[in-house]
Structure 1
Amino acid sequence: MADKKQKQKSTPEMIEVGYEISRRVYEGTLPENKANQLFMSRLDLEPNRSRTANGYWQCYLYLLNRRLIQNTISEEGWRYNFEKIAALGPGLLTTALYALNSHIGYVKRRNPAYRVPERVHSHFLARLSVIDGGNAEAIDLDLQVRNALLATEDERNRAITQMPTIPEKMTVTTTVYRRNPYIIAQVLFRSKGRCEGCHKLAPFIRPDGSPYLEVHHIQRLADGGLDTAENAEALCPNCHRERHFGAT
Structure 2
Amino acid sequence: MANLLTSDHIQLAYEVAVRVHDRSLTQRQGVECLTREGVGTTYANDLINVYRIMRRGRCYHRAINVPTTVLYLQGIFRDAGEEALGQALTAARLHIQYYEQLRGVTLHRIREAVEHSELLIDHAQGAIAQYRRVLDTQVQVALNDTAAARQARLAKKKKAAPVKFTTTSTYFLRDPDVVAEALHRADGSCEVCQKPAPFKRKSDGTPYLEVHHIVRLSDGGMDDLDNVSVVCPNCHRQAHFG
Alignment TM-score, normalising by the size of structure 1? 0.45
| Higher alpha-carbon Rg | 2
Alignment TM-score, normalising by the size of structure 2? 0.46
